[in-house]
A and B are shown apart, each in its own frame.
Chain A
Amino acid sequence: MLQIDLAGESLTLLAERALWWPAQSTLLIADAHFGKGLTFRARGVAVPSGTSDDTMDRLAALLARTGAARVVFLGDLLHAREARQPALMTSLAGLRTPGVEWVLVRGNHDMHAGVPTELGLTVVDEPMLMAPFALCHHPDARPGHYVLAGHIHPALRVEAGGDRLRLPCFAFGPDVGLLPAFGSFTGHMTLEPEAGMRCFVAAADRVLEVPHASARRRGKA
């Protein structure tokens, strides 16, 4: 994990691909895509089961470790309508503990998947304002607030010393910050960092800042 200051607040970047805001005891999770494997199988594509369990285990561990009073899902909690199966919903509901609020900022996949009422989620449309931040799914600028968003599934190509890797990353621009996708079964989009953007890669159990100029030049190669 790694501490950064953003818009005057201190935030913790977690190697599990989530963001922890201690002052508000809030855990931010983007693009969990629960039930994606289920969706594939239901439509005749034989993807193995176990990816949602994986995602769930990591979420449970984070909840226990941070002791968060609030979890905000920045959209795409469920992958599609087929994901709303009793077994998955029961397991998810099992992670709920009294006194911990779960909020879903609606993302594009949630529009089609619908909201699982059995989880007792608070559902809001973006932006969810918690000054100084606007919590969103889509990374569109919101004047007056710093946007924290998902949707993109950002990854960064790191290249140095003859070695090369593509890793999920956090990316903070002047007005908008991107969170990596939390789900175990999610693809990534390689970012081309722009001027004034700080990037942090999640590499196994560590979060590391990647110097910007080099990453960008190499990324295009």
Chain B
Amino acid sequence: MSDPEIPSDEPTRADVRRIVASSSLGRQLRAARAKQQREQAAGQTGERVPPRPARRARRAGGSLPDFAALQLRIEGLYAERGWRVFEFQRAVWAYLQQGRSGLLHAGTGSGKTLAVWLGALLRAAAQPAPGLRVLWITPMRALAADTALTLGESARALGLDWDVGLRTGDTGSAERARQARAWPQALVTTPESLTLMLSHDTARDQLGGLCAVVVDEWHELIANKRGVQTQLALARLRQWNPALPVWGLSATLGNPDHAMQVLCGPGGARVAGEVDRPVKLDSLIPARTERFPWAGHLGVKLLDAVLTELDASPSTLLFTNTRSQAELWYQALLAARPDWAGLIALHHGSLSREVREWVEAGLKNGTLRAVVCTSSLDLGVDFLPVERVLQLGSPKGVARLMQRAGRSGHAPGRIPHATCVPGHGLELIDSAAARRAVAAGRIEPRHSPEAPVDVLVQHLVTLALAGGFDADALKAEIRTTHAYRALDDGTWDWAMDFVSRGGASLSAYPDYRKVERDAGGRHCVPRTDIARRHRMQIGTITADSAVDVRWARGGKSNGKSGGQSAPASGAAALAGGRLGQVEESFIGRLKPGDCFLFAGRVLELVAVRDMQALVRAGNAARGTVPRWAGGRMPLSSELAQEIRTLIALAAQGDYPEPEMQALRPLLDVQRGWSALPREDELLIEVMQSREGHHAFFFPFAGRPVHAGLAALLAGRISRSRPITFSLSFNDYGFELLSASPVDWAQEFSAGLLSGNALDADIEHCLNAAQLARRRFREVARVAGLTFQGYPGQGKTARQLQVSSELLFDVFSRHDPDNLLLHQAKLEALQDELDADRIAGTLAAMRAARHCITRPPSMTPFAFPLLVARLRERLSSEQLSERVARMVALLEKAAGP
């Protein structure tokens, strides 16, 4: 994959100094703090919860008018505002009245939220009862506050005395205690916070009286483990109220029926929103394409063109695919237009909440003219003033580009308008392909995961905490979910054994303690320290453990950080204000004294302690760009297929889109040095360099498939002789690099692309490539094997810290049948390698005409693979031989 994270165009040192001096983020922070202080002075909590009616009135039960009266008020409100009630809204209200569940899917800005919210209110009015009535689940914490505000406002506009509460990881203990005393009528929460509520034995009292559940942005949840967690939580709610209607809201999806069935089960309804509004999609095509860079090095080269676009629009969102790119673009824009300080801002998931809220407020009231952001702004309430969206780098997916385009053009008379700004030459093809896919309605489907064991194990402990469970009853309950509908007894028994005895065999772990059976036969967690740790661990998403970035404050001491730490880690004594969060793996690569760019500043790392990175203002001259792993996105297969078609057209001399016209010089180089493959051809480029012997394959099947194919071919060859391959892959193809040459034509005739024993070969190569080992990181965390540290943790917690890689090795050696290992392998097989599509692509490669070229130099197609940073290795040599060979090479390189 052409790496979007290492642009070469860093700002100069002088630029960085100027930027830091005029940093608008500093201003952002100060403004946000001042706002919070003002609010506190005014006696408010500072939390963005809608103003509440008087406490006493709320206790009285937030009464609703009866159904007919409420319906009249809704009609009145619509008439008063000159709105039209859409057919789909009426359909949702009618379904909710009947108590039916369903999925409402439509583009952004089509009134989905109001349709379901009013429907839920109508249902509550028809069935009056005290306590919490409507539960609103949203995927992002950052969205929850805005949603609560919006829901509360529309309730008040109807003259309703309803309280909309907020319950997320950000909700303070005082607010939680207040909610426990008197529940609001509606509660906005996240899957994790809902699961956390279910881990207490008071859950049924709190949630048993619900009359409707809404799952917002269901398309964001359905395909991941958080969605499975949501399915499990809904199964529990349905145990208490089998007739509970559940409504999902989703953006346009390729498979809405599946999305509906996963959420609602049989009998659900599917409602399509109003016809999608027209969307304008185009590309920023550089004027001089002959000097267009080939790969991953464009960085901010198109800055001038982007500035021109920003000048033309009062408010623009600039989406990047990674946080580090967002930081770079923000810096570059400020450097080019110092007078925009305060008018442009940065928004990504690592920044602290107060900064993000300040930026969102600025977007809403139109005071910001541009915001550089990541997927952190993919979702959320609409920012009316935003007119324009710029996608920096490949959109990577059809649905994603549509979603992002939909964040613009909400003002009357406007339409969404997204412009792709290519990160390198070939990305122009991506933009053209995405537009064609949108026009043809080819949008990525999203599927629910199948019975993940790690989530099951976590759920068992969660429910054991909530006053215990009866095993048979819980098994039946879990089987009502889509993800576990086919859960077999063997897996269930293993999961029960795992949480109660640590493993399948009776004598496995006599010293293990977690879930125990009480005298009444119910499964409980008697130990409070285990209960506490589990509750802190609930949640399945955080991809990498996060480290708080804080200002260092106070004097120096010779504190020693815990665990396995560097000998000289003198740490500042106190931690100060919080700047945001970065991945632990990023901070782990820095040494105290190193500088990095974060939140628009140059920071110097002082020390890492208790999951906190303490920093001080850094020396601008030494600033390095952060390289976060966050946001690495594979190209979707829908987009990949469209790209294949466009290249095949170019091979015939047909350049149907303006992007393809612009790329013609680059494609001519490719054709001149090597070839442009037609759809029935497989292009293979072979060449030699100082690094070794390269072979580049271009099936254009998308990154996950290429990862699998690379490992498969390398594995098949390395079985016959000792050889080590270094693998590299991206969305267009893959590279096999070896120290010794390979005769590819001969390998093909010997059956390298054969479909025989494919499953076994994939399995074998999978093990060798250790993809599963990497996958195990998430599995181990979800299953509660690795424990993310937290500030102020004691020694006991530190003694439980272990890397998932080490655990994977220990399990592989001492408990190879552990289902969590199988889970990791399965995920690697399905998600990383996509075994079915590997088989399909391999068959196509067999059938294709093999076009093996020997280009004189690295071609435009090959170059991005050469510079891809992420490389896998596959070897059949003995470890010690491998090391000896590497040492010999190093000695040779070092010279006498």
Chain A interfacial positions (CB closer than 8 Å to B):
37-51, 54, 79-80, 82, 85, 109, 112, 138-140, 151-153, 158-165, 167, 184-189, 192, 201, 203-206, 208-215
Judge whether B875 is part of the interface by a CB distance below 8 angstroms: yes
Judge whether B98 is part of the interface by a CB distance below 8 angstroms: no
Closest 4 CB pairs of A and B: A162-B726, A48-B815, A50-B814, A46-B502
Is the beta-carbon distance between B566 and A44 smaller than 8 angstroms? no
What residue of chain B has the Cβ atom nearest to residue A139's Cβ?
Answer: B567
Bound complex: CA of A161 vs CA of B513, how far in Å? Answer: 47
Is the beta-carbon distance between B799 and A79 smaller than 8 angstroms? yes
| Chain B contacts for A214, CB-based, 8 A | 890, 893-894
**Distance (Å) between the CB of A117 and the closest chain B CB?**
21
Bound complex: CA of A187 vs CA of B803, how far in Å? Answer: 7
| Chain B contacts for A211, CB-based, 8 A | 887, 890-891, 893-894
| Chain B contacts for A204, CB-based, 8 A | 878-880
Contact of A138 among B513, B567, B591, B806 (CB under 8 A): B567
Is the beta-carbon distance between A187 and B806 smaller than 8 angstroms? yes
| Chain A contacts for B802, CB-based, 8 A | 40, 47, 185, 187
Bound complex: CA of A184 vs CA of B812, how far in Å? Answer: 13
Given A40-B800, A45-B784, A45-B800, the answer on whether A203 and B883 have CB atoms closer than 8 Å is yes
Per-residue contact bits, chain B 855-896, to A (CB 8 Å; 1 contact, 0 not): 000000000000000010101001110111111011101100
| Chain A contacts for B879, CB-based, 8 A | 165, 203-204
Bound complex: CA of A221 vs CA of B785, how far in Å? Answer: 30
Interface size on B, as a range, is: 35 or more
Is the beta-carbon distance between A80 and B894 smaller than 8 angstroms? no
Is the beta-carbon distance between B890 and A215 smaller than 8 angstroms? yes
What residue of chain B has the Cβ atom nearest to residue A31's Cβ?
Answer: B564
Given A112-B795, A158-B883, A187-B802, the answer on whether A44 and B514 have CB atoms closer than 8 Å is yes
Is the beta-carbon distance between A50 and B806 smaller than 8 angstroms? no
The CB with the most chain B CB atoms within 10 A, among A54, A162, A212, is that of: A162
Contact of A43 among B499, B508, B564, B800 (CB under 8 A): B800
Is the beta-carbon distance between A189 and B564 smaller than 8 angstroms? yes
Is the beta-carbon distance between B883 and A165 smaller than 8 angstroms? yes
Bound complex: CA of A156 vs CA of B371, how far in Å? Answer: 42
**Distance (Å) between the CB of B608 and the closest chain A CB?**
12
| Chain B contacts for A158, CB-based, 8 A | 883, 886-887, 890
List 10 A-B pairs, Cβ < 8 Å.
Answer: A41-B509, A41-B511, A41-B513, A44-B512, A46-B503, A47-B810, A151-B564, A158-B886, A162-B726, A205-B880
Judge whether B157 is part of the interface by a CB distance below 8 angstroms: no
Given A45-B787, A85-B511, the answer on whether A51 and B883 have CB atoms closer than 8 Å is no
Is the beta-carbon distance between A49 and B814 smaller than 8 angstroms? yes
| Chain B contacts for A41, CB-based, 8 A | 502, 509, 511-513
Given A138-B567, A206-B880, the answer on whether A160 and B889 have CB atoms closer than 8 Å is yes
Contact of B513 among A43, A167, A185, A186 (CB under 8 A): A43
Is the beta-carbon distance between A46 and B810 smaller than 8 angstroms? no
| Chain A contacts for B806, CB-based, 8 A | 185-187
Judge whether B796 is part of the interface by a CB distance below 8 angstroms: yes
Bound complex: CA of A139 vs CA of B885, how far in Å? Answer: 31
B737-771 with Cβ < 8 A to chain A:
737-739
Is the beta-carbon distance between B873 and A163 smaller than 8 angstroms? yes
Judge whether B86 is part of the interface by a CB distance below 8 angstroms: no
Is the beta-carbon distance between B886 and A165 smaller than 8 angstroms? yes
Bound complex: CA of A138 vs CA of B560, how far in Å? Answer: 11
Given A161-B886, A201-B883, A203-B883, the answer on whether A48 and B785 have CB atoms closer than 8 Å is no
Q: Interface-forming stretch among B9-17, B203-211, B387-395, B526-534?
A: B526-534
Bound complex: CA of A50 vs CA of B813, how far in Å? Answer: 9
Contact of B512 among A42, A161, A185, A215 (CB under 8 A): A42
| Chain A contacts for B567, CB-based, 8 A | 138-140, 151-152
Bound complex: CA of A187 vs CA of B810, how far in Å? Answer: 11
Is the beta-carbon distance between A37 and B799 smaller than 8 angstroms? no
What residue of chain A has the Cβ atom nearest to residue B509's Cβ?
Answer: A41
Besides A44-B530, A48-B815, 19 more A-B contacts (Cβ < 8 Å) are: A39-B800, A40-B800, A44-B512, A46-B498, A47-B810, A49-B508, A49-B509, A112-B795, A158-B886, A160-B889, A162-B726, A163-B726, A164-B873, A165-B886, A167-B883, A184-B810, A208-B880, A214-B894, A215-B890
